[in-house]
Each structure stands twice: as C-alpha cells, then as structure tokens.
C-alpha cells in the first residue's frame, strides 16, 4: 500500500508471498494451487489504488505454465501476462503455446514463451531481454507482480 499510495512513504515496494497459485483459475483449484494469489494481488492493487494502478504486468516463470492466471486475465486488456515455462506434448498442464495470446479486448495481452526441456539460465535471460522487457516498455505497467513457481 505504501508504494502504491499517492502519498506513499516509499517509491517502490517488494512483497514476497508464496505460493503464487498460478494453476488456480476463477472457479477451480488445480496443480496444488488453491487460490491464485497473484490474481488476488492484482485485483487488490486495482481496487485499493484505482487512481494509481490501471495496468498490471504479471511475469510468471516456472517449469509449468500458469494456466489459471492465463484463464483469469485472458480477455483483460489492463493486465499483461508474460509466462516463461517448459512446453511440450504430454507435459503438465498442456497449455502455454506461443499461439495462446488472449481474446476479445485481451487479444495480445497474454504472451507465452514456451521453452524446451532442459532449458537453462541463458534461455531465461534471453526470454526476459527479448520478450519481457520490450513488452513491459510498450505496456507501461503501473504495478508489476512476479509469479515465481516452486519448481522453476
């Protein structure tokens, strides 16, 4: 709250909370995620600070795609979801292809960076440098939330 308030006592803030809950969708729990905490945080930031928080960027990185977060913000042009994850046939949860980009008003506000098995630090760095940072600069978020998985 202090970082988002117009008279906040800090210019930036960092909150560490686990788990992000990225497999939980609007109406279901899945993949050991009961509540999508990053989606709750985005909703709270917007409702508690409507003048300051209009655009939210969620950066999700984990070995598994955060299909719950993607589902929640699929049609939302005020939330940019960038997900970096392993993606191949038969690998849970089976979503996160680069062609999954949102729909309706949210078209283009879902960005998936699927990686092959065995990806490493250099691949993650490249995804951040070549996809995340340019997308963030274009989107100009008011709030950035990082959904860091347990098994990334």
The catalytic site residues sit at: 23
User: How many angstroms separate the most distant Cα atoms in the chain?
Assistant: 50
Closest of 146, 139, 142, 147 to residue 3, by C-alpha: 142
Q: How many CB atoms lie within 10 A of CB 111?
A: 20
SS (H, E, C) 78-138: CEEEEEEEECCCCCCCCCCCCCCCCCHHHCCCEEEEEECCCCCHHHHHHHHHHHHHHHHHH
Q: Rounded to 5, what percent of the chain is helix, strand, coil?
A: 25, 20, 55
CA distance 9 to 98: 40
């Amino acid at each position: 709250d202090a970082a988002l308030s117009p008279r906040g006592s800090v210019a930036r803030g960092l909150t560490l909370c686990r788990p992000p809950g990225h497999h939980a969708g609007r109406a279901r729990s899945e993949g050991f995620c009961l509540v999508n905490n990053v989606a709750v945080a985005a909703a709270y930031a917007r409702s508690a600070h409507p003048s300051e928080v209009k655009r939210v960027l969620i950066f999700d990185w984990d070995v598994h795609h955060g299909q719950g977060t993607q589902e929640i913000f699929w049609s939302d042009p005020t939330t940019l979801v960038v997900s970096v994850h392993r993606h191949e046939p038969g690998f849970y949860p089976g979503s996160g292809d680069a062609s999954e980009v949102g729909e309706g008003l949210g078209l283009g506000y879902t960005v998936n960076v699927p990686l092959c098995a065995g990806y490493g630090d250099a691949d993650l760095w490249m995804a951040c440098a070549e996809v995340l940072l340019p997308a963030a600069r274009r989107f100009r978020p008011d709030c950035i939330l990082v959904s860091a998985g347990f098994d990334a």
